[in-house]
A = this chain, B = another copy of it.
Amino acid sequence: MNAIEPADPRLLVLAQDFREALRHSIYLVRRLDADGELSAAQLSTLKMLMDAGPASDGGGVRVGEIARNLGVKVPSATEQIIKLERAGLARREPDPSDSRAVRVTLTGAGRTAVESANERRNAVMAGILSSLSDEDRAALAAALPVIGKINATLQA
């Protein structure tokens, strides 16, 4: 799909620069995550569950779906879920329509945990962004949909 062709030099430069930016951004992400009581993986998982709605709405998310969404294998998802369950943030219930499956949902504690962790991280990030010029912020904002597109491509 993408390979052996020579490739436009300008594209390669952009690729390199983007890679570099992402590489450095890892530290930013680490900083944000270090701050909280929830790890990045756990927060991501909980956020998914939040978006999926409550069990009473036929909500909840299956383990395989969580794994796909997080970009990890099923056993890794299971592991996260077990931790969240032990922490009282998520719950596993049998799926009424398929007894092989498990539906994972947020508990009340899980919901508040997501919300507060999110707020805190957003505040830290906002603090960092506040030192930028309006121009810079505009440039960043303009690029986010593009990065979103790139990431969406990956999932396919």
Contacts and interface: CB of A to CB of B under 8 A. Distances in A.
A24 interface: yes
Interface stretch (A85-93, A105-113, A148-156): A148-156
A55 to B, nearest CB: 25
A141 B17 contact: yes
Contacts of A122: 12, 15-16, 19
Contacts of A18: 125, 129, 140, 144
The A interface is mostly helix, strand or loop, or mixed, namely helix
A6 B18 CA distance: 33
Interface in A116-156: 118, 121-132, 136-137, 139-151, 153-155
Interface of A: 1-3, 7-8, 11-12, 14-19, 21-32, 40, 44, 71, 118, 121-132, 136-137, 139-151, 153-155
